[in-house]
């Protein structure tokens, strides 16, 4: 399968501006597993999307969107899986592509972020999530979805949006490291949120979106559905502003945990990928 049902061929990959990277891995998930099914669900739902985006008045597929085969899963260790994603990301960045990672669990983002940090100066990670993922270790492992942002702190600046569930130690770390963190209870009614987020970012941005940043009323298909999340248009307003003012070099959408008989969350995730591609392509025209 391919995103939007577009033809797959070596020529399509060579000419594509964006490359979809499905990674069906959930080796360190907690509470509710099943995010390994997320990439396929997103791609399947994407086949029902219209090619045309009414907001930007564009058809993103015309810029070239290719889909790779699923990244082969290794059960040797989570660290090895991260390294596989890093290798794929490095290859795509060197080829001048825009990688779009579909998870799978959030730990996979670490590999793509590491590859982006190797390829771009002045990079900031813009992290949308209900959780800060700043634990040094979780369940006796430092390579866990709960630790992914801990690994990047000493290498790439971090900005977090939508946080509403964390430990006392993580909150203290946010303060000590002066991490720009936009907590959900502080921003739910802030019209200036997009501008405030943009002001914290460097010229190059990697966007990582854990779908539990959204309110479970519209995104219940996640492992840890926290109440009080962002709405659809609130998230899009921030992404649109970032795309206009900064260069998004890659992004991921992770942690979809499909619910049998409930296609709406899968479709939302696919639409989110398509919307962000529309924004990025428009601003690179």
Residues 6+ apart with CB under 8 A from 122: 202, 203, 204
Task: Specify the pLDDT at position 280.
Answer: 98
The Cα 27–Cα 182 span in angstroms is 29
pLDDT at 235: 98
Q: How confident is the model at residue 75 (pLDDT cuts 50, 70, 90)?
A: confident
Classify 104 as helix, strand or coil: coil
Whether the full predicted model's pTM is greater than 0.85, yes or no, is yes
The reported pLDDT for the residue numbered 17 is 98
Q: Kindly tell me if the per-residue pLDDT of 138 is higher than 80.
A: no
Q: What's the mean per-residue pLDDT of the chain?
A: 95
> What's the confidence (pLDDT) of residue 31?
66
What confidence score (pLDDT) does residue 26 get? 87
User: What is the model's pLDDT at position 127?
Assistant: 98
Judged against a pLDDT cut of 90, whether residue 27 lies above it is answered with no
Residue 150 DSSP SS3: helix
Show Cβ contacts of residue 176 under 8 Å, excluding neighbours closer than 6 positions: none
Angle between helices 78-94 and 109-119 (to 10 degrees): 40
Residue 267 reports pLDDT greater than 90: yes
CB atoms within 10 A of CB 185: 9
- Answer yes or no: is pLDDT of 175 > 80: yes
pLDDT tens per residue, range 142-159: 778 789 999 999 889 999
Q: Which residue has the tokens 């890093």?
A: 86
Q: What is the mean pLDDT of residues 262-275?
A: 98
Which pLDDT score, from 0 to 100, does residue 228 have? 96
pLDDT tens sequence across 191-224: 999 999 999 999 999 999 999 999 999 999 999 9
Q: pLDDT per residue over 28-74, tens digit each?
A: 776 677 899 999 999 999 999 999 999 999 999 999 999 999 999 98
Whole-angstrom distance, CA of residue 240 vs CA of residue 86: 27
Model pLDDT, residue 140: 64
Residue 94 has pLDDT above 80, yes or no: yes
4 and 49 Cβ atoms separated by less than 8 Å? yes
């Amino acid at each position: 399968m391919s995103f939007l049902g577009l033809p797959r061929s070596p020529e399509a990959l060579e000419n594509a501006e964006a490359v979809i990277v499905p990674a069906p891995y959930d080796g360190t998930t907690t509470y509710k597993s099943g995010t390994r099914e997320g990439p396929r669900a997103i791609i399947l739902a994407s086949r029902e999307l219209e090619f045309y985006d009414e907001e930007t008045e564009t058809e993103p597929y015309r810029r070239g969107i290719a889909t790779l085969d699923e990244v082969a899963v290794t059960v040797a260790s989570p660290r090895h899986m991260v390294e596989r994603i890093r290798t794929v990301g490095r290859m795509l960045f060197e080829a001048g592509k825009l990688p779009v990672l579909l998870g799978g669990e959030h730990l996979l983002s670490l590999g793509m972020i590491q590859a982006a940090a190797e390829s771009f100066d002045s990079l900031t990670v813009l992290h949308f999530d209900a959780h800060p993922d700043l634990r040094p270790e979780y369940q006796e492992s430092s390579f866990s979805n709960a630790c992914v942002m801990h690994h990047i702190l000493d290498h790439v600046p971090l900005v977090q949006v939508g946080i509403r569930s964390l430990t006392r130690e993580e909150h203290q770390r946010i303060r000590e490291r002066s991490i720009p963190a936009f907590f959900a209870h502080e921003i739910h009614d802030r019209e200036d949120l997009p501008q405030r987020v943009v002001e914290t970012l460097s010229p190059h941005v990697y966007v990582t979106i854990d779908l539990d940043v959204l309110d479970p009323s519209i995104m219940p298909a996640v492992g840890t559905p926290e109440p009080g999340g962002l709405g659809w248009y609130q998230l899009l307003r921030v992404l649109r502003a970032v795309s206009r003012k900064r260069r998004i070099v890659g992004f991921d959408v992770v942690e979809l945990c499909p619910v049998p008989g409930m296609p709406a969350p899968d479709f939302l995730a696919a639409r989110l990928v398509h919307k962000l591609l529309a924004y990025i392509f428009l601003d690179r025209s």
